[in-house]
Amino acid sequence: SQTIHQWPATLVQPVGSPLSLECTVEGTSNPNLYWYRQAAGRGLQLLFYSIGIDQISSEVPQNLSASRPQDRQFILSSKKLLLSDSGFYLCAWSEQGWEQFFGPGTRLTVL
Amino acid sequence: SQQGEEDPQALSIQEGENATMNCSYKTSINNLQWYRQNSGRGLVHLILIRSNEREKHSGRLRVTLDTSKKSSSLLITASRAADTASYFCATDAGGTYKYIFGTGTRLKVLA
């Protein structure tokens, strides 16, 4: 069966520090991968999605970037965090045309 | 703006009552999905309905889709306290690889 891992679960970082969130999927090949951000009590904002290695689309201009170094690994990064980057970050995978499966999320607080 | 908008934003009912949530979207879709999110957790897929389907059932869940009105509804029958969560609709934005989520309905079921 397929599983999705996301870490860390929580993170507190100072403004201006770098960020690296990792997401890995097991039990499937060539999944579509997604990063979302969710502000408190709000809906999900799609940040990046990837349909293959080196195929990453950005949805929202910001100081975040994403990379997919391996087929089932998706990384969200920032060189310098802003206060507005605080939120709940969710990674998800899917096969085209089917439902998404979400990781447990990372709660990021930027101070 | 969000592709999907849920209505109402919040709903409070007594255990045993039915809960109905609505979702409206803007562009053509191949499928629409409903997800559930418990506080501070990742999203869990509930049901997927394709654009050529009008109604779908899964246990106590009933989803309808009206593509002419670009709307969907999620009905939870005989609600339980454990159904307390936020519910989101998501569309595939016209068959693209990305999914667009609505703002969610916060359901509270009182025991």
Q: Percent of chain B beyond pLDDT 90?
A: 72
B80 has a pLDDT exceeding 70: yes
Neighbours of B96 (CB within 10 A): 15
Q: How confident is the model over A25-62, as pLDDT tens digits?
A: 999 989 999 999 998 878 899 999 999 998 999 888 67
Q: Phi and psi at residue B15, in whole multiples of 5°?
A: -55, 135
Local structure of A109: helix, strand or coil: strand
Chain B residue numbers with beta carbons less than 8 Å from the beta carbon of A74 are: none
Chain A residue numbers with beta carbons less than 8 Å from the beta carbon of B44 are: 102
- Strand bridging mode B10-14 / B105-110: parallel
What is the predicted pLDDT for the residue at B99? 87
Are the C-beta atoms of B69 and B22 separated by less than 8 Å? no
Contact check, Cβ <8 Å, B97/A90: no
Distance of alpha carbon B20 from alpha carbon A110, whole angstroms = 37
Contact check, Cβ <8 Å, A90/B43: yes
Q: How confident is the model over A63-73, as pLDDT tens digits?
A: 899 999 999 99
What is the predicted pLDDT for the residue at B1? 36
Six-digit token pair at A80?
């310098």
What is the predicted pLDDT for the residue at B3? 54
What is the predicted pLDDT for the residue at A96? 76
CA angle, B35 then B6 then A4, to 5°: 20
HEC assignment per residue over B24-87: ECCCCCCEEEEEEECCCCCEEEEEEEECCCCEEEECCEEEEEECCCCEEEEEECCCCHHHCEEE
**B104 close to A (CB below 8 A):** yes
Are the C-beta atoms of B89 and B31 separated by less than 8 Å? no
B2 has a pLDDT exceeding 50: no
What is the predicted pLDDT for the residue at B100? 87
User: From the list A34, A99, A104, which residue is nearest B45 (CB)?
Assistant: A99
Instruction: Count the residues in chain B.
Output: 111
Contact check, Cβ <8 Å, B97/A51: yes
User: Burial level of B19, CB count in 10 A (0-12/13-18/19+)?
Assistant: buried
What is the predicted pLDDT for the residue at A110? 96
